[in-house]
Chain A
């Protein structure tokens, strides 16, 4: 049977996508050093646990989906995923392998579990998906891992509640663990932490709340899942609501996890960056 080996979370700010190819130089730059310094232990962990598939829970920022058709939860079911021009010069990188067989297993399982997702046989993946992949697989060395994009609407309110996302993650976890193939599955939740791009409150960051989220997500994620979306927006900024993607990931990991590594740094661009490595515990 398939095994969930653990979860990764990371911020996915577009400027990181532009910086990643220059990491060797930027690692000594005072602005980038505290950010990139967090990643080597996470990469070592990925190499150690050898995932066959990465489920990437992210939000589309207006590349694949527009307001004409805005699913709350959608799951990729393609053999390959590509990124594309998002309007401001993020590089196009090599395509990602899909796993349609596991995609359909998850889709069938979560719908049976009352999460009525949209399925996508074509899906462009944006920086919310590609930046984390490039961070954990340096030099875009991800050809050995298959991917399944799970996209959650954070563009247009109403967003799904944090508790709904946590439970959706639990359903994804049950789906993975009922898959008959003997594979290792990694679950990634991208985005966050606190940031706000729009309005007179742009630039808002809440370090105290971010650190609380990073602490509680390990052993008490349901306490965080009980926040409402407006409360998350108030505490974490308009786009800090991306934390629902972390909660979805955490739901998939099951009751007990062990924190292997974390990093927190204010700020890249307008965003408090955070990285966590969580290993599933027995």
Chain B
């Protein structure tokens, strides 16, 4: 996972999901991609550890899954589009996920988003 860098661009708090990240996060993202299917979501819920083993997650990825920590998942190579399917298992919206990553309450986060329209 690379910080958003380009010869002339650095964007704080922003991560480019590039080839390097995609290789690092392959197993994690593949597991999250499998959550498109309800059968797989149910299997994960039934035995998380076994499911992570089945997809070959490394220790960093397993810990981040266990902690439901989105920033840690991104640092472990997760891509937000696939992570959204993981979050969906717990009924978390992108606003819940945004609040978690920014350290705000969900209400504060929603207010912050809306205020940018003024």
Show the binding face of A for B, using Cβ within 8 Å: 15, 61-63, 66-68, 84-89, 155-158, 196-207, 228, 230-231, 233-234, 238-239, 265-267, 269-270, 272
A67 close to B95 (CB less than 8 A): no
B19 close to A202 (CB less than 8 A): no
Interchain CB contact (< 8 A) of B117 among A15, A155, A201, A207: A207
Interchain CB contact (< 8 A) of B33 among A66, A85, A88, A203: A66
Q: Is B4 an interface residue (CB 8 A)?
A: yes
A154: min CB distance to chain B, Å: 9
Show the binding face of B for A, using Cβ within 8 Å: 4, 6, 8-9, 11-19, 22, 26, 29-30, 32-33, 35-38, 41, 70-71, 74, 79-85, 87-89, 93-95, 97-98, 101-102, 109, 112-114, 116-117
A30: min CB distance to chain B, Å: 11
Q: For the A-B complex with A204-B116, A206-B116, A238-B15 known, give 4 more contacts whose Cβ atoms are closer than 8 Å.
A: A62-B79, A67-B30, A197-B94, A205-B117
Which of B4, B79, B80, B95 has the largest number of chain A CB atoms within 10 A? Answer: B80
A239 to B6 CA separation, bound complex (whole angstroms): 17
Chain A residues with CB under 8 Å of B11's CB are 201, 230, 233-234
Interchain CB contact (< 8 A) of B37 among A85, A199, A205: A85
A233 to B26 CA separation, bound complex (whole angstroms): 23
Chain A residues with CB under 8 Å of B30's CB are 66-68
Chain B residues with CB under 8 Å of A203's CB are 98, 102, 109, 112-113
Interchain CB contact (< 8 A) of A267 among B85, B93, B114: B114
B104 closest partner in A (C-beta) = A203
A68 to B26 CA separation, bound complex (whole angstroms): 9
A62 close to B4 (CB less than 8 A): no
Chain B residues with CB under 8 Å of A206's CB are 116
25 A-B pairs within 8 Å (CB atoms) are namely: A62-B82, A66-B30, A67-B26, A67-B29, A67-B79, A85-B37, A85-B38, A86-B85, A87-B41, A88-B84, A156-B18, A157-B16, A196-B14, A198-B70, A202-B97, A202-B102, A203-B98, A203-B102, A205-B116, A228-B9, A230-B4, A230-B8, A266-B117, A270-B95, A270-B113
B117 close to A265 (CB less than 8 A): yes
Chain A residues with CB under 8 Å of B102's CB are 200, 202-203
Interchain CB contact (< 8 A) of B36 among A15, A87, A196, A233: A87
Interchain CB contact (< 8 A) of A156 among B17, B37, B113: B17
